[in-house]
Amino acid sequence: MIGDRVLRKEDARFLTGRGRYLADHDVPGLCHIALVRSPIAHARVRSVDVTEALLSPGVVGVFTQADLEAGGARPMTHRLSMPGIQPLSWGVLATDTVRFVGEPIVAVVATSRAEAEDACELVEVDYEPLPAMVDPRAALEPGAPLLYPEWGTNVFFTAASPAGQADAAIATAPHVLTERVSHHRIQALPLEGHGAQASVDPQTGGLVVIASNQQPHQLRTVIAETVGLPESSVRVIAPDMGGGFGAKQHFTREECLVALLARITGRPVRWAQDRAEGLTASIHARAQEHEVTCGYDDTGKVLGYKVQIVADLGNPVLYFSGIGPSLVTIGCLAGGYDFGPVSFDLRCVATTTCPVGAYRGFGQPEAHVTSERVLDTIAERLGLDPVEVRHRNFLPDAPRPWMAPSGARMDIGSLGPHFDQLLDEVDYDGWRKRQADARAEGRFVGIGLSTLVQGTAPTQYGVAGRFGSWESASVSVLPDGSVTVFVGTKSQGQAHETVFAQVAADALGVPVDRVTVKDGDTAALPYGMGTWGSRSAVMGGGAVVTASTRLREKMDLIATHMGGNPTFDQIAEEVWWHAHRLPHHLEPGLTSTVVYTPGNTIPVPDAAGKTNFEETYGAHMTCVVVEVDVDTGDVELLDAVLVSDCGRVINPMVVEGQHQGAFVQGLGNVLHEEIRYDDEGQPLTATLIDYTPPLATDVRDLRVLHREKPSENAGGFRGMGEAAIIAAPAAIAGAVADALRPLGVEVWSTRLHPHHLRALLRAAR
């Protein structure tokens, strides 16, 4: 089954409208929650009057944070204990101070969403405005208004590598490049927003929470802590989901609020995020600025690399903390390149804007755009081809695993041949000739390259918080020979029901249609770590492979005991219905539950102070060709190719679909989308008229080629779900810069929307 183009099993219900999402879980007596949110970016809350709202038709109750605390609510916190991080806790609802437009202050429960929203209009909040702070660099200036005066600064988290080696290498290099790269704020924008529904089990008194969340087990932990229940009294179910893309990796105030209000009111309650809430009061991403300095020689070889990062966290009231993507950024600054000594300085800054956290790629696109722009610029300054400069900076073929500057051990294939395969497939030399012909005609065609080595299935996060380096699965062969698989991951469109069925079927030797895969229910497994970080195939697949293989080995022993030639179904029947005939050393039943982890998951600092850890790396080489209309600023994609090594390919069709979707998101990130605020912290992109994702007419098919080097973990799989969204912004930025180079335009920002490009062109002229 591994490697077969099996049609997605879940598509039958999704494409016929039989998916069951959060909003499809209506129950008798269901009430709805609407929220009074701050219209001011920064203010003291002098008073809240809910008298009129309580009298509004259909209202069941109106709640402030004081009401929630009277009902047992406990503070929320980022739960991280790390050097350089500020202490921070917050209420499920804001109390004395609001710190971004959209921060929730009052919750209204009513018999319909419309009635709840009408009552919200009757709540009176008296605000004392305070200075807004939207620009993270301005927030670092002496005398800047402080969001949390008790810190004495607006820096929420800081980290830096030991000084010395990179500075010394740069100081002695023949050439030095220093530039500032701007990565603008965007959002994941899943089709289905955040949401949760909760009710009290009348028999046990426990909570049942249905939530559109990527990590149901961790959400259970957070809800139990906030509500004040043992985890055994909370069941979380994540149903079919209309996308997540990392934004639903976090655990929001509203999810905990729903659980609290179900207990306080005794009613089943639901909150479902509308689009305006999603755009202004959910989770944003990518907002970083990099000041990069590197030294290089006459051949284009980088000798030392240094990046100073200012990351905008917005108001960092987010669990787990929004510093996660920035930590990943500093861990992959060099990516698949040998840049000599690499150093960083990171400052994560609080501003009066919406919290910033995870989005597909999770800090890697920011690092990758910067490194690829640096290499393209080195090539331009030295008069070299960007291909030549990349070849000179690739990680060498030995040793393997390669020790990255972050301390990760990287087991990847040879990058040079992989890159050459990309160049052959895209016809790089042919495009260079067509580019020259186009320039002679007054047209501006550019070629962009991205050579991504992507860390997937992270194993080190257990050090910083509750994000583990393992995954669980339970595989059972039933009496009729059918197979059930429960996994701790959570699909949001990644075809887990298909690929995990293929993995189990391959290991057990049964047809894939005899395997049923289930996820998203905390009652099915003791704990699971969910889906994030391109981890599901590696961690979840590894758990399914291991559990299935153990079952197969047990069945082989039973087959030998039965004479050597029984069928699969006969063995299943023997185990369940005739257990008394089994050898005494074999337990009855055919169920295997596994908690699987690849590699070393207990980081131990070496003599140099580095912490070595395993990650499963994939390698993905991308080339795009664009044409820029210098009058309108529009960018047309002419060609796009990705050569992908994700280890053993479980289902090529699923991999290609994941790459295509991620590529479109990456294209949207740089050519269309941006979250913007005015100087007072008012959001300027509160609707999809203002925040403009790409349309079908903006998209071109990405040609995907597979290049398989099995990893050393169970199954040989490597992650890939985020690869194209990491690679695309860098490749597209490089292509646009290459196209506009004859006009003297330099590209040091991910803002490549038409009006931004027109501004760059005007400045160059």
Give residue-wise pLDDT tens across range 497-549: 999 999 999 999 999 999 999 999 999 999 999 999 999 999 999 999 999 99
One-letter amino acid at 144 equals A
In what side-by-side order are the strands of the sheet with 616-628? Answer: 444-456, 616-628, 635-645, 703-706
The rounded percent of the chain whose pLDDT value lies above 90 is 90
Q: Where are the beta strands (DSSP E) in 351-417?
A: 402-403, 408-410
Which pLDDT belongs to residue 606?
47
Residue 728 in tokens: 């695309």
DSSP designation for 462: G
CATH class label, 11-130+194-272: alpha beta
pLDDT in tens, 375-387: 999 999 999 999 9
CA distances from 128 to 100, 106, 354, 558, 643 (A): 14, 17, 20, 75, 56
Distance CA 580, CA 548 (A): 24
- Report the CATH fold assignment for 470-596: Aldehyde Oxidoreductase; domain 4 (3.30.365)
Which of 490, 34, 483, 539 minimizes the C-alpha distance to 236? 490
Chain centre to alpha carbon of residue 671: 20
- Write phi, then psi, for 628 (nearest 5 degrees): -105, 130
Enumerate residues 6+ apart whose C-beta is below 8 A from 30: 197, 267, 268, 269, 270
Q: Using only C-alpha atoms, what is the Rg of the chain? A: 27
Distance CA 380, CA 376 (A): 6
Residue 700 in tokens: 């071109």
Q: Which residue(s) pair with 416 in the sheet?
A: none
pLDDT band (50, 70, 90) for residue 464: very low
- Return the domain boundaries, the chain: 11-130+194-272, 284-460+608-764, 470-596
Q: Which residue(s) pair with 413 in the sheet?
A: none
Q: Are 8 and 495 in contact (CB under 8 A)?
A: yes
pLDDT in tens, 595-615: 998 864 444 444 444 545 557
Quick check: 459 pLDDT over 80?
A: no
Angle between helices 723-740 and 754-764 (to 10 degrees): 30
Which residue in the block uniquely carries the two structure tokens 């695993």? 401
B/e letters for 686-709, b = 16+ CB within 10 Å, e = fewer, are beeeebbbbeeebebebbbeebeb
Which pLDDT belongs to residue 154?
98
Give kind and range of the element (H or E) at residue 736: helix 723-740
Instruction: Pick the range with the lowest mean pLDDT from 316-325, 701-710, 739-748.
Output: 316-325
CATH class label, 284-460+608-764: alpha beta
Number of H helices, E strands in the chain: 20, 31
Are 11-130+194-272 and 470-596 equal in CATH topology?
no
In terms of DSSP bridges, do strands 207-211 and 234-237 run parallel, antiparallel, or are they unpaired?
Answer: parallel
Angle between helices 541-561 and 568-577 (to 10 degrees): 80
Distance CA 17, CA 366 (A): 37
